[in-house]
Structure 1
Amino acid sequence: MSEQTLPGGNTTGAVRAGNVVHKPAAPWTPSVHALLRHLEQAGVEGVPRPLGFDDQGRQMLSYLPGEVIGGRQPWPAWVYRDDTLEQVGRWLRRVHDASATFVPPPDARWFTGDKLQPGMVIGHQDAAPYNAVMDGDRLAGFFDWDTASPSPREVDLGFSALLWVPLTPVAAAELVGHDRPEERSRRLHLLLDAYGYEGDRLAFGPVIVARARRQAAVIREMAEAGDPAATALLPIAGLLQKSAAEVELLPPSFWVALA
């Protein structure tokens, strides 16, 4: 069966053959597949199903049909609809709640190198618009689970907030189609409400800042080590650094939900 190159793939190229996606495997792929099987058994929808490995050693996953951003810029209008944002929040909550009961394999490895600790979940860690699949007005799920890793809920939720609200610099947000910076606080709380977030929202900003800076540092370290995918992502590292600096400047009122 012929293979079709899928759009995107900044870090790992993926091809589709029928309803199966083939993409390079990594040392943490077996752990990610174990997580995906757990989510399937827990009834979580919008998650690709692991199908083993092909004769080239590539991992195989079920294809999630629907519309993706691919290389489009600006991003499609559905990224900024309120109902999409609410669906993202509810989906993240289902994944986090289900992963809280996941028992990793004894030899589990994750992209970040972190170990699962009490109170953590295993999040997607990159549930951003460019990894979303839409079926009309319905969020069909998220692909590209390679960076799934243990973290507190806020860390995974915070990165999604950064890209979906969005909390990137205004000029960068305008390039991808978001031209209403005055809506950011309202959209942040819409996402958190849909998730059912009960934590201190004033403390949520520093979580986003720390996550953005950590990711930027990881990209730069990998690029310095000669990783070509990380080298291609160096502009993203710069964007994350600028985003962190801008989020730090947001006033306390930004993080307090209006009654």
Structure 2
Amino acid sequence: MSEDVLPGGKTVGAVRIGDVVHKRASPWTPTVHALLRHLAEAGFDGAPRALGFDEQGRERLSYLPGEMIGERVPWPAWAFADGTLVQVGQWMRRLHDLTAEFRPPAGERWFAGGEMRPGMVIGHQDAAPYNAVMDGDRLAGFFDWDTAGPSPREVDLAFTALSWVPLYTPAAARHFGFDRPEDRSRRLHLLLDAYGYDGDRHAFGAVIVQRARRQAAVIRQMAEAGDPAGVGLLPVADNLERSATDVEALPDDFWQVRAARPDGGAAPAAADREPPRSPAG
């Protein structure tokens, strides 16, 4: 049976043979497979199934059928649709709730290092539009779980907000097809509401900044070490750093929830609104 090269794959790459995806395995692949088996046993259908390894030692994963962005620019309209954004928030909340009790195998190993500790979840850590699969108007799930790993909920959610709202620089957002910077605050709160996030949203902005800069630093470290994938992702690191600076400069009212008015607009947020609490876990 022939191997069909799948689009994307800037770091590892993958091929499809029938309904199975084959990818070069990494040192953390066994731990990620344990995570995917945990999700499958819980009935979570928004992720591929781990199917072991082939005769070449490549990992085998079930194929998520649907539409992917691949190398397309601008991104398709569904990447900026409110309905998709809501589904992304709901998908991520269910993922975090299911992984809060995940017990990794002995000798757990993750792409970014670290280990599972109380109060953490296992996040996808790259649940961006370019890793999404859409079945019509339905979010089928996300592929590319190589970078999955333990973190507080906010850290994983922050990267998703950065890429789905999106909170990139206006120039980068226009490049991908989003040209409504005035709508970003509303979209951010739509995503957080769909997740059920009840944390301090102004503080969440600082998490976005930190996550973007940390991601950029990892890419630059990879490039300095001579990793071809890191070198290829240097423009991404530049965008993340510029975006972090832009997010840091957003006004306070950007992060405040605005109550809906009868005419469909948004009323000013109450200055004395009681600070919300972070979600459990």
Q: What CA distance in whole angstroms lies between the structure 2 residues aligned with 1:155 and 1:4?
A: 34
Q: CA deviation at 1:81?
A: 0.5
Q: What is the letter of the counterpart of residue 243 of structure 1?
A: S
Residue number in structure 2 paired with 1:54: 54
Residue number in structure 2 paired with 1:116: 116
Q: Which runs of 4+ in 1 moved over 4 A?
A: none
**Cα deviation digits, residues 159-210 of structure 1 (max 9, x gap):** 0000000000001100110010000000000000000001111100110010
Residue number in structure 1 paired with 2:248: 248
Residue number in structure 2 paired with 1:35: 35
Q: What is the letter of the counterpart of residue 114 of structure 1?
A: G
**Cα deviation digits, residues 105-155 of structure 1 (max 9, x gap):** 111000111111211000000000000000000000000000001000000
Q: What CA distance in whole angstroms lies between the structure 2 residues aligned with 1:98 and 1:7?
A: 29
Residue number in structure 1 paired with 2:148: 148
Residue number in structure 1 paired with 2:235: 235
Residue number in structure 2 paired with 1:102: 102
Task: Map 1:146-225; keep pairs closer than 5 Å.
Answer: 146-225=146-225
Q: What CA distance in whole angstroms lies between the structure 2 residues aligned with 1:129 and 1:230?
A: 20
Q: What is the letter of the counterpart of residue 122 of structure 1?
A: I
Q: What CA distance in whole angstroms lies between the structure 1 residues aligned with 2:84 and 2:188?
A: 13
Q: What is the letter of the counterpart of residue 221 of structure 1?
A: Q
Q: What CA distance in whole angstroms lies between the structure 2 residues aligned with 1:225 and 1:57?
A: 25
Larger radius of gyration: 2
3-state SS of 1:67 partner: coil
Q: What CA distance in whole angstroms lies between the structure 1 residues aligned with 2:252 and 2:32?
A: 37
Residue number in structure 1 paired with 2:137: 137
3-state SS of 1:60 partner: strand
Identity %: 71
The TM-score, its normalising length taken from structure 1, stands at: 0.99
Q: What is the letter of the counterpart of residue 244 of structure 2?
A: A
CA RMSD across the alignment: 0.5
3-state SS of 1:145 partner: coil
Q: What CA distance in whole angstroms lies between the structure 1 residues aligned with 2:234 and 2:55?
A: 33
Aligned residues: 259
**Structure 2 runs not aligned, ≥5 long:** 260-281
Q: CA deviation at 1:5?
A: 0.2
Q: CA deviation at 1:218?
A: 0.5
